[in-house]
């Protein structure tokens, strides 16, 4: 069974939190429970929340929605959730998607994410 994890940036210190997600629908707040057994939850910035794909890259780094990856050809792509297909995809360009599957993960490397490293996408667009 796949490990279900989410990550998000802490609302107060900007650090990344990884754990289970809870969402307060009344107020729109999101919380990442970093320790289920201790009940420690950090409020995170909702726009930064991304789900773990269940896959790791060639360096055994967990791949999350919102990660920026580079493939073995040097192409830079973003990991996104495609709601219409209920699948994680890689987007090399806006409105183009590659379905993301397990064997592909051994040929890619996480080089950043859209929140901390948006400049990586600008470099990719100019190539």
Antiparallel, parallel or unpaired: β 16-24 and 108-113: unpaired
Share of the chain above pLDDT 70, in %: 83
CA distance 10 to 33: 11
The pLDDT of residue 105 is above 90: no
The pLDDT of residue 33 is above 90: no
Longest dimension (CA), the chain: 47
User: Running DSSP on this structure, what letter comes out for residue 43?
Assistant: E
Q: Where residue 127 falls among pLDDT bands split at 50, 70, 90?
A: low
pLDDT, one tens digit per residue, over 69-80 is 998 888 899 999
The predicted pLDDT at position 52 comes to: 95
In this structure, the dihedral spanned by the alpha carbons of residues 22, 19, 35 and 12, taken in order and rounded to 10 degrees, is -70
Report the chain's mean pLDDT, rounded to a whole number.
86
Nearest to 18 by CA among 47, 38, 44, 37: 44
The predicted pLDDT at position 38 comes to: 63
Token pair of 62 as six digits: 């967990």
Share of the chain above pLDDT 90, in %: 47
Q: What is the gyration radius of the CA atoms in the chain, in angstroms?
A: 15
User: Contact at 8 Å (CB) between 88 and 65?
Assistant: yes
CA distance 33 to 42: 6
In terms of pTM, does the model score above 0.75? yes
pLDDT, one tens digit per residue, over 84-96 is 888 888 888 655 6
Antiparallel, parallel or unpaired: β 16-24 and 62-64: unpaired
């Amino acid at each position: 069974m796949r490990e279900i994890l989410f990550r998000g940036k802490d609302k107060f210190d900007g650090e990344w939190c990884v754990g289970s997600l809870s969402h307060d629908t009344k107020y729109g707040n999101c919380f990442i429970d970093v320790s289920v057994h201790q009940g420690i939850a950090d409020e995170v910035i909702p726009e930064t929340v991304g789900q773990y794909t269940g896959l790791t890259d060639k360096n055994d780094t967990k791949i999350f929605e919102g990660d920026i990856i580079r493939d073995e050809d040097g192409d830079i792509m973003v990991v996104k959730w495609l709601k219409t297909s209920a699948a994680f995809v890689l987007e090399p360009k806006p409105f183009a998607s590659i379905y993301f599957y397990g064997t592909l993960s051994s040929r890619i490397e996480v080089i950043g994410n859209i929140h901390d490293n948006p400049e990586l996408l600008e470099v990719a667009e100019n190539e």
